[in-house]
Structure 1
Amino acid sequence: MSFFWYTCEQFKHATAVRLADGSGIAYQELIQRADRIVDTIPQGSLVALECENTPECVAAYLGCLRKGVVPVLIDAALESGLRDSLYARYSPVAVWRRLPENDEFAWRATGCASPLLHPDLALLLSTSGTTGSPRLARLSRRNLQANAESIVSYLGINDYDRAITSLPMHYSYGLSIINTHLLAGATILVTVDSVMARSFWQFMGNAKATSFAGVPAMYEMLNRLRIDTMELPALRTMTQAGGRLSPENVMWFAEYSRQRMIEFYVMYGQTEATARMSYLPVERLLDKPSSIGVAIPGGEFSLHDAHGALIDQANEVGELVYRGPNVMMGYADTAEDLSRGDDLCGVLATGDLAKRDAEGFYTIVGRLKRFIKIHGNRISLDDVERRIQQRGITAYATSHDDKLIIALEAGCKTPSELAAMIMKEYKLHYSVVHVVACREVPLTSSGKVSYPELLDTITSGREDI
């Protein structure tokens, strides 16, 4: 298998990276920078990249792949205590970061010896990048290449394309944009600006961006901000993943895109599958706005009941299982896990409950386990409870309509204070965090919290949100 971090050498003088000031970096120059960055890092060692959407971080990532150095990608804005805990757990030999004294990027040696790494291991991504979850997804070279090839295939990405970094590169969806465009010899419009910044849209227009990627919250915002009044004549592709976009918004963007000859893709994925598992063909947006579509090229879905038996009938709910070459090698919870081989053998039980219609299109109907995805961030409800309980507060976390709901026992910390704490730690908007005070928490016969009853109590109005 040929890998995109090598095959991109063929594009030499084509522009790999373009910046908002109009300057560009050719593929040949980007590769030279990449190789220089990792020159002092031993092959087969573990490093950490504190990622920002900058040419320096793109080059460091590319250099690691080319040399066989395994990077763990970290949000540069991650709280220092969480970041340091992650480093203590996995022992990277060096950290690529922006230096506060001169605002330049450089390696900081940690003094650690690299843990033993499996020879197929290429990349480590946090399963919840914004919260610093210590659990990492172990991704192989084959995983990265296979997913990039599949995405390029169904989106039709070519060397004419110019994609803007609307998502952080430490996030699997954001990283997939970099991977696919390097594979295709396309141009990456690199910016640290948020989609909320006017400068982001000025850059997008001036650089003639051909594609935009976003999570549901971004598309909801674009609808409110009237993207239909913006002049983006070069835009030809819009993609959405990172959680469920409401059917109403799917239909709105389907119509917006149709009028402008833009292809709008609703997609589904997980970090454990290197990014992408399904897409909804553009021509089916209006009649299947709730669907995640069909498996990407090279992958396949199946549904299984509670006993693991295959579900053949249409419209029966079961756990969604994905098979494909982009399925991770497995999880890492300790440095010792980094030497493990392929534990999953290309099969991923997603933890999502889904149904398949008579035409073979899939729709997610819930979560098998207690994880939710909000604004592209996957959050463990059990982790939310643990963090609150560490502060001496008794609380129970659940979710409804893509919102995080926290129930407090009477007499606990005031809802507004707790909501502010959760919003800060998980980087969530106030509109998706609701804290309620419960007079009585329903329990099962075994003394455990009955979350279905708790949610019913809250949503039925017996407790105020």
Structure 2
Amino acid sequence: MFLNLSQHDTLAIAAVNEDGRELRYGELLDLAQQLANCLPARSLVFSFCENTMGSLIGYVSFLTHDIVPLMLDKDLDPALCDQLITTYRPGYLWRPFGVHGPCHDALFTVGNYELVPTGLEHYPLHPDLALLVSTSGSTGSPRLVRQSYRNILSNACSIAEYLGISSQERPVLNLPMNYVYGMSIINSHLLKGATLLLTTRSIMQREFWSFIKEYEASSLAGVPYTYEMLKKLRFMTMKLPALKTLTQAGGKLLPELHGEFARYAQDTGRDFIVMYGAAEATSRMGYLPPDKALEKCGSMGIPIPGGRFDIIDENGDSVERDNYVGELVYYGDNVALGYAECGADLQQGDEHGGRLNTGDMVKRDKDGYYYVVGRKKRFLKIFGNRVGLDEVELMIRGAFPTLDCACGGTDDRLYIFITDDAFSEQIKQFIALKTQLNHTAFRVKVLPLLPQNNVGKILYAKLEAYYDPL
């Protein structure tokens, strides 16, 4: 059975929601079975997710009973939803009442969720295919990652091992269930019989903090944006005696912010664990052990249990020397089967063979700890000089901590997008000084808001609309 859920005490609590409703493991499995009874095995289901009981029951049901879900945000743009339905032809929708289309006769309901048939005949599915998820950068594209049952189980086991998860944990699920980081929290904790605290609230809402205090959340997860907001909320002054672990993934944290939270964790007897991953590796590839959080500030750590890293040069050859900047390659059982860009791709098998070229440029120090320098595709040639866009962003954020910024560009033209015109000239002068490049290569653009997805990641492709015409 998926994640060996049947081995847990049936009376143990699997989840608690914002209303205090408890879902026990036995009840979770019973409801999952009832839902599965309404579906043929190897059906394709579009699961429109929110952090509620109904969404969780669907997720467990599908993966436990040989049904393949595509995990989607319940607030997905309707045009993109229609495009995905046309491309992949799901047989069923699992959704909150009335979301994405008029309600037909529901085959099954639980909580506020309903199972709705589409009348479409789906494409053949490969027997290893367990789940489909959007890549983090593909919010405007039907490109999906194909994950297997082996991928999900191996990654859940690795995460549970290095985080030391037990049945006593009570993680708050504040990240979206359709996001691989959120899914990894579900998988690794259900594997160990822990209790998920389900919330649709954001950390900016008072009710969120009341919820985690009342139900004694033991861990909190966040992307870089989460930690920026936590600092503004003066999180470090809050009294949260049950909270023992903070985890971070979804992009590189500013070194200054990394240091602040690592020091806070050390001073208060907590663990602060920076992690590294991607949808193409199910979720997690690397982690920084909490006892190294300060000493190796800025590092994403070492490979997860069962995984291995390599650094390759432009010719694809492995490079062993310290501090060489090359592309990171990951090896492990959690490397996904491959991508899907059309319905016919769903019958494809394993195309990666346990190896993932991450596209991240990294360096490894003398102690074997890895540091992300930037994305392979996020480098420009400015007047013959190689400039890393991620590095420039980090420099600006470090020097102007109150300013939202993002960088993009083409060769010989670097665009810096900010949200406050008062900083335009300072930014130009600062970057010219730091890079020693002529200021004519820079363009500062002011936008009301930077385009972001629902977990705070910058949508760089949307910034290209603001580039100057060639």
The aligned counterpart of 2:451 is 423
Shift of 1:430: 9.7
The aligned counterpart of 1:334 is 342
Pick aligned residue for 1:196 from 204, 207, 228: 204
Q: Note if contact 1:306-1:318 (Cα within 8 Å) is conserved in structure 2.
A: yes
Pick aligned residue for 2:40 from 39, 42, 45: 42
The aligned counterpart of 2:406 is 404
Q: Note if contact 1:274-1:327 (Cα within 8 Å) is conserved in structure 2.
A: yes
Q: Which moved more, 1:142-151 or 1:222-231?
A: 222-231
Relative to structure 1, is the Cα distance of residues 46 and 407 closer, same or farther in structure 2, using a 3 angstrom cutoff?
A: same
Task: For residue 188 of structure 2, give the secondary structure of its aligned residue in structure 1.
Answer: helix
Consecutive unaligned residues of structure 1, counting only runs of 5 or more, are 372-397, 409-414, 442-465
Q: Which amino acid aligns with 1:74?
A: L
Q: Which amino acid aligns with 1:14?
A: A
Shift of 1:3: 3.7
**In the TM superposition, what whole-angstrom CA distance separates every residue of 1:170-217 from its partner, at most 9, and x where no partner exists?**
000001001111100000001111111111111101000000000011
Pick aligned residue for 1:52 from 50, 53, 61: 50
Pick aligned residue for 2:269 from 261, 278, 291: 261
Relative to structure 1, is the Cα distance of residues 20 and 427 closer, same or farther in structure 2, using a 3 angstrom cutoff?
A: closer
Alpha-carbon separation, structure 2, partners of 1:227 and 1:12: 36
The aligned counterpart of 2:439 is none
Alpha-carbon separation, structure 1, partners of 2:263 and 2:326: 32
Aligned-pair RMSD on alpha carbons? 2.9
Pick aligned residue for 2:233 from 211, 225, 243: 225
**In the TM superposition, what whole-angstrom CA distance separates every residue of 1:114-162 from its partner, at most 9, and x where no partner exists?**
2100001100000037824311111000000000000000000000000
Pick aligned residue for 1:121 from 129, 146, 153: 129
The aligned counterpart of 2:19 is 21
Shift of 1:285: 1.4
Alpha-carbon separation, structure 2, partners of 1:127 and 1:265: 23
Alignment of 1:278-293 (within 5 A): 278-293=286-301
Q: Note if contact 1:8-1:183 (Cα within 8 Å) is conserved in structure 2.
A: no
Q: Note if contact 2:132-2:147 (Cα within 8 Å) is conserved in structure 1.
A: yes
Alpha-carbon separation, structure 2, partners of 1:146 and 1:308: 27
State the aligned residue count: 410
Task: Provide TM-score, normalisation by structure 2.
Answer: 0.81
Task: For residue 77 of structure 1, give the secondary structure of its aligned residue in structure 2.
Answer: coil
Relative to structure 1, is the Cα distance of residues 354 and 206 closer, same or farther in structure 2, using a 3 angstrom cutoff?
A: same
Pick aligned residue for 1:168 from 152, 176, 182: 176
**In the TM superposition, what whole-angstrom CA distance separates every residue of 1:4-23 from its partner, at most 9, and x where no partner exists?**
1x434432110001122222
**In the TM superposition, what whole-angstrom CA distance separates every residue of 1:357-413 from its partner, at most 9, and x where no partner exists?**
111111111111259xxxxxxxxxxxxxxxxxxxxxxxxxx76416434679xxxxx
The aligned counterpart of 1:82 is 80
The aligned counterpart of 1:104 is 112
- The answer on 1:7 being equivalent to 2:15 is no
Pick aligned residue for 1:349 from 323, 346, 357: 357
Task: For residue 331 of structure 1, give the secondary structure of its aligned residue in structure 2.
Answer: strand
Q: Note if contact 1:91-1:113 (Cα within 8 Å) is conserved in structure 2.
A: yes
Alpha-carbon separation, structure 2, partners of 1:330 and 1:429: 23
Pick aligned residue for 1:215 from 199, 218, 223: 223
Alpha-carbon separation, structure 1, partners of 2:232 and 2:200: 23
Relative to structure 1, is the Cα distance of residues 436 and 406 closer, same or farther in structure 2, using a 3 angstrom cutoff?
A: farther
Alpha-carbon separation, structure 2, partners of 1:420 and 1:95: 36
Task: For residue 328 of structure 2, give the secondary structure of its aligned residue in structure 1.
Answer: strand
Relative to structure 1, is the Cα distance of residues 357 and 84 closer, same or farther in structure 2, using a 3 angstrom cutoff?
A: same
Pick aligned residue for 2:249 from 241, 255, 260: 241
Shift of 1:426: 7.8
Task: Provide TM-score, normalisation by structure 1.
Answer: 0.82
Q: Which amino acid aligns with 1:304?
A: I
Task: For residue 8 of structure 2, give the secondary structure of its aligned residue in structure 1.
Answer: helix
Q: Note if contact 1:129-1:170 (Cα within 8 Å) is conserved in structure 2.
A: no
Relative to structure 1, is the Cα distance of residues 78 and 40 closer, same or farther in structure 2, using a 3 angstrom cutoff?
A: same
Alpha-carbon separation, structure 2, partners of 1:50 and 1:267: 27
Q: Which amino acid aligns with 1:423?
A: P
Relative to structure 1, is the Cα distance of residues 122 and 254 closer, same or farther in structure 2, using a 3 angstrom cutoff?
A: same
- The answer on 1:299 being equivalent to 2:307 is yes
Consecutive unaligned residues of structure 2, counting only runs of 5 or more, are 104-108, 380-388, 395-404, 411-417, 420-444
Alpha-carbon separation, structure 2, partners of 1:121 and 1:193: 32
Q: Which amino acid aligns with 1:179?
A: N
